Structure 1
Amino acid sequence: MVVIAVVLAVIDQITKNWAEANLPLLEPQPFLGEVLQLTLLYNTGAAWGMGAEITPVVTCLQIAIVIGVLVFAVKVVRSGWYTLALGLILGGALGNIHDRLLRDPSPFHGAVVDFLELPNWPVFNVADMGVVGGAVLVVALGLFGIAADPSADAGGAAADAPAESEETTRTTSEEDR
């Protein structure tokens, strides 16, 4: 999970640095025609720019989410799929936290660099793709009934098995009499 998170956070920062060095501010540049344009902007808020006036609160909330993901992962997650999903969420969160802590104007007030624009969708970045992709994967895993710790399900079923088998043995013995 940590490897996935670090790789994603590094890719995110490389792409943001490239965008800042090569894109004009707020001027869409065609990349894939109208489907994907590159538009550099700075977001001091959370999703869709909401909460721009409370950037330090947003930053602290993101840090708390990262801590929560780490604690959950260490205590519960034993599934490769959940490891991937949480790695994507963690890497994306770290990429955006980096911006909030280390970019202008000041620590905890920094603006997140966004530069990818789809039609009828807010401008976003690689970190945002990781967070959304990881969240979608967590929801899909839940819908398909895949547990974060598959061994817990197997252990629970195994613990129930002797009781059922004891009951079956008792019933069979009574019928034999």
Structure 2
Amino acid sequence: ETVPVLGDFFQLYLTRNPGAAFSLGEGVTWIFTLVLLAAAVTIVVLAARVVHSRLWAVVLGLLLGGILGNLTDRLLREPGFLVGHVIDFIHTPWMWLGFPSAIYNIADIFIVTMMISVAVLVLVGLRFDGTREHHRHHATAASEGDGASAPDEAAKA
């Protein structure tokens, strides 16, 4: 039963999701569990490399929290180990205009927003150590400029 909190804007609706997003892959839930487990281990290994970047530490920490939230459901909830159903309860019908209604949880919000954050950090070139990656285009243009001036100076001499 839907419980309106803010009308159609924000509702609570308890459901047990046997699959991934939109309940896809209901028959292969154990694969999602293994993928979540591998992602959690990868994040822990990567987090050990994050030394001087608070942004990376926060993003990886929140991503790990979201993954562990859903992984806990997969491991401990009915119908059993590795195939447990994830508890979803947030319903925002306005968000899915023309699409089937989606119900999600806080762990899903963390996973989606932090994956977007990872993409942004990679695109802006922020490394785990807090330094920024210089774009190759600028480095190439600078070296080409240096190389082009050397023959000109040699020709003048």
State the SS of the aligned residue for 2:104: coil
CA RMSD of aligned residues (A): 2.6
Matched length? 135
| Amino acid across the alignment from 1:128 | D
Scaled by the length of structure 2, what TM-score is found? 0.75
Residue aligning to 1:82 = 56
Q: Is the 8 A contact 1:84 1:134 kept in 2?
A: no
State the shift of 1:83 in Å: 0.8
Q: How many Å separate the matches in 2 of 1:117 and 1:41?
A: 10
Decide which of 125, 138, 145 is 2:125's aligned counterpart: 145
State the SS of the aligned residue for 2:82: coil
Change (3 A) 1:78 1:49: farther
Q: Is the 8 A contact 1:55 1:109 kept in 2?
A: yes
Residue aligning to 1:52 = 26
State the SS of the aligned residue for 1:68: helix
Show structure 1 runs of 4+ deviating over 4 A: 151-154
Q: How many Å separate the matches in 1 of 2:127 and 2:43?
A: 16
State the shift of 1:129 in Å: 1.0
| Amino acid across the alignment from 1:69 | I
Q: Is the 8 A contact 1:87 1:134 kept in 2?
A: no
Q: How many Å separate the matches in 1 of 2:23 and 2:54?
A: 33
Matched, 1:71 2:45: yes
Q: Is the 8 A contact 2:126 2:132 kept in 1?
A: no
Q: What residue ranges of structure 2 are gaps of 5+ in the alignment?
A: 135-149, 151-157
State the shift of 1:51 in Å: 1.2
Percent identity of equivalent pairs: 38
